[in-house]
């Protein structure tokens, strides 16, 4: 995953790896969690294809999850934490490692 983004980024693709083969998995939901640098701010949760979270079909055996950002995702500069989760139809879950993402302001 890229380690830099910008406040208001639109269309940036974040790729996170579960390291699990999802070829035959029956996935109930996928989500990406965006934790802002301000500890009092709520974590932003983006779920399913309606919010541009998907399993990358090209790299499905390596469990890549992709998320395409919208302008409201990164609303402040600083060190963000990003994590993807997959919930299977039986209720089991897997998650990626938490990735650090530096969000900067364009001048």
pLDDT digits (tens, 9 = 90+) for 15-47: 898 888 877 778 888 899 999 999 999 999 988
Write out the two tokens for 8. 């208001």
| 49: pLDDT strictly greater than 60 | no
Nearby residues of 27 by Cβ (< 8 Å), 6 or more positions away: 55, 86, 87, 88, 89
| 106: pLDDT strictly greater than 90 | no
- pTM of the entire predicted model: 0.85
């Amino acid at each position: 995953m890229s380690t830099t983004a910008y406040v208001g980024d639109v269309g940036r693709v974040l790729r996170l790896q579960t390291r699990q083969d999802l070829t035959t998995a029956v996935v109930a939901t996928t989500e990406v969690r965006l934790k802002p640098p301000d500890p009092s701010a709520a974590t932003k949760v983006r779920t399913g294809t309606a919010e541009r979270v998907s399993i990358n079909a090209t790299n499905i055996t390596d469990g890549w999850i992709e998320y395409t950002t919208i302008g409201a995702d990164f609303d402040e500069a600083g060190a963000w934490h990003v994590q993807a989760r997959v919930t299977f139809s039986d209720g089991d879950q897997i998650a990626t490692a938490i990735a650090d993402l530096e969000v900067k302001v364009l001048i």
